[in-house]
Structure 1
């Protein structure tokens, strides 16, 4: 195609313009750039998040498995493109790496996980507020955000995303410290809350979540209770409809059944392999369990005993190889205490973290464990006890080392054969991921399987990936991908990508520690082996979710192991299987069930407590029965009908909207990709060769922001190509160049006769000539928008509207000689341009008027709520006075009568004071409403600026 600088300038405008917040076009560049499949419900949710420029955010509450992370990522990506880059993500500790990886893989966004180590490192490097990042998204856990709240307050966040936000739903309760701290800290900033369960047990949970987004959507807790707490008892009273209308602007929920025409879900099937530990294995378990149940242990720091006891039990359940080294280290620690007479708990922490990779994460989530000062000095009797304990630990280590065959490991061979046979029947590839919680067990399993016919077919995955095999895979992968976007430059991210690719293309088995449950997608694998079973149901769901997710084409087979000589282990498995439905069905653990827990750590703690305190089978059974009963109360379907009435729309309404969104999104993606391809081809014609069929090009000589190599436009990437996208540095350089370029007035001849596209609206202009002048009109009020204002005039005085002018740039064209617009036509065109600009301003005002109405309605509701709360207090007082008067009349004792009447008088006096305060409070509410209104009005003031794009004389032949 033969283009001109005017084409390039127009394409640059279209690719960089700022559009209304409620337009799908708002997300166009994010959709073009993101490496995700286009699902219309995700586009709809992303648009919903900030449909009004006055919005303070949204609760995105799609059912589990529909990609809420993608929805938030699209919003986040768009903010990034708008240079609004102060972005914070708060997630459960075990989801931080997943966010880190998804942002990199799907949206090309760098992020930093902030926890104690990285936070302190940033400060040591001179960044006194590590949350203040340049061109990086900050990611942290709930606990860390609470702890570092003073740092968070000093950043003016453009967007805060809170994942698994149901953890905050009880923010209205005074004892919920984390939720209240985060709400107060982040109050001024726009937020997106992600949760599949915004409502579980009470309407007050909805009130809590909504208040985190916007404290003015409802009044205070008292007024909400007065109006809605009994809504479920009056289904037909209209209360639901009223509440639903008030929730609509802030809550968006899509159901799985509504998107089945776009997303196909497979099932998961459970296989349980029972094993009987040898006498030596059972003896080791019994001895260590008795030891851990002692009232006092010198080997474990008192301040972290619960956490370390949990870790030791998990290592013990993993393998004899996992625990033997730990016993040695504990023995050495106590011998060191005897030698130097002081503790060194940090050294033990480092050792546990090295082998049990989940340690730091667990510590983060268990951090509210009471801190007990570690003892630093011992009596002679205590030193003798330490010597006895050290000898005992040494005997444990010897016993563990003597066990060279693990019963569970032997059972793994048969389990894998079964898994592969079942997978083959389903047409799945021969791939299995084995999860263990210990690096030592990982090494043992690799050796065991290598001797059992899987040598050369195994890849290891853990937090360090420092083994010889992993390093070789990494170096080979780097060499293969050095000239593509696959190599990010981050060694840890690239190592993970290399190992996953090796698993997909070459290996049959990946043996992974918990590190693989975070942030990688294994849809090509359909066998998941829980060699070690976590006690936290959310962690198990996360593991299985690596394979059983969108894009999986086969049913996923979940293999578990059950120790038949351990009553507690059997109870744990039944709990996880029957109460949490983790291992079978289309969706596994339902959002209803997992959402009933604020954190899976709660269950983990309870199970750990049972192991720690129960000594007999009867005690174990009794404790697990009590735990199941408690869960029954939480895992309830009581609010299902309420949730359906408040948060779900009719299917047909949703389906129609999704169809429209899908069509519009595809149209915009196609248009934007076309513009980007054309402007790149025109701008790089001297330095690159282009393959029109594959939408790829090869840069032959060095260019700023672009290495020599192959580039591919579009979502379907090919090996050894960089992904060329709108926000790629090279594309940004091209767009910035043309956006800022001033073009002279010249003659342009457009070729319609040889065009392959029929544009009937242009046919009446054939063989005619005239003028075109185009402007960019920036309007700023609630938000900034760019309007295309263009006027075309024929030599015979006919006007060509803005939209038809755009069609000119679909044609090939040739530049002619320099021209000068005569004064008569110039005056006519300027008058027409003024009219067009006035019309655009009016459109903007009308649209902003609707946003203003929504905001004012919200303030009116809030003011009414606050008045209801105050009036309710008076009503309660009236009732109390009436009751006291009745008691006074019924009393026969004069003294009692007098005392009762005195109480009545005191209450009446209090009522008078409250009435007075009611009027004062109503004035305060009106004043508050007025100040909020003034703030909105100030934003409403329009500011506009017009900038000429180009003027040229045209001919169409």
Structure 2
């Protein structure tokens, strides 16, 4: 990397004059000293001054960078740790260290708690140097340093550093290899040495995530690893739970299952990778997923007492923990709203659960309860569900109000869009009419001074042509007004039809429950 002062001079001369700041560990230049003195004056009696010039200089430089006075921070390795830059979202690695922990430290300055934006990491790599290319490949593809939450975890990096001195190995490659073939061979050997360790540690890290993190948190994480389909989203997890419940002979994996000699995957990427079956509710209703749903719907559900075992669940639901050891009653209701004269409908599965001492479980917590494996089922002759009637009526009314609120927002949004479109259309047409009027007036004035009768006749013909164009523009304007009024009427009719809501509640089953 060129000297930081040279980089700063280059940027200052190319559009960033007065917008750069340096951090190099000593910062003895005049600009840094001035920043440092201003910082000390601002925080003279605040307790922010530690007394260590090195630490205080870093704090002063970072504060100056955070202000509107600077846009770019140029830093040596001195900025690799001990500073918080989560107010930034772009990191440029001019040169990549051979030690992956140092790279992780750099990224960690920006990608840290409090960051509100996606972080962009730009890495400069010498494409003509095979060794530099292999270093980047090692950091990016093998250690996944640039992939966010599920990148190279501290556990993985710590394990590698405790068993393989990557920096020393790479230094030896640079020192001893004399040909591209030698470089490729030695990097292949290094990656082979790392592979078993990475595989074991990464699998342990992922399994720990699944076992100890809340399942809702895991399903909502948006990372490149998430997109690689190692972790299921909520909808996919429900489908996998369906297969587990309905197919006693299925071998259930983390994101797939085997049944009847075939592999079924829940993501299209994995289907392509493994040449497997796609387990989804597709348009073609002859697929296995639809068959399992039809089978489940046809089953007669009798009153029963179910014993749920939370510890048998892969992962956990944090909101269920306060209810462990409790017993109560649960009812699953299919709540259906129809509108637009019965042409459209919305359905909601409503899980109502209460304890024997009268406490109501939150609706989401009750849903989570039905995701927990059941260890024992005791048939019952009768379960009293009268306790749910008042609660069900309340929820029906709440959903009705919620639907009406959505309709109100829909009316406001569509009316606003229609008004803007109508205004733009009217303005455009009136501009055309006004322009033709101006041309007609100007042409009339010019035609009066024409010397011959023939020229005046020709001018009159042209004038009539302009007047017909104006009249046609006016007719289009009035037709557009009618079209706009018609669309407004259709919008009001649509909302009115939607407001005529009819609801019905179908109880699917009622059970007694116990959570262990």
TM-score bracket relative to the smaller structure? 0.3 to 0.5
Q: TM-score if structure 1 supplies the norm length?
A: 0.27
Q: TM-score if structure 2 supplies the norm length?
A: 0.47
Based on CA coordinates, which of the two structures has the bigger radius of gyration?
A: 2
- By relative contact order (CA 8 Å, sep 6+), the higher-ranking structure is 1
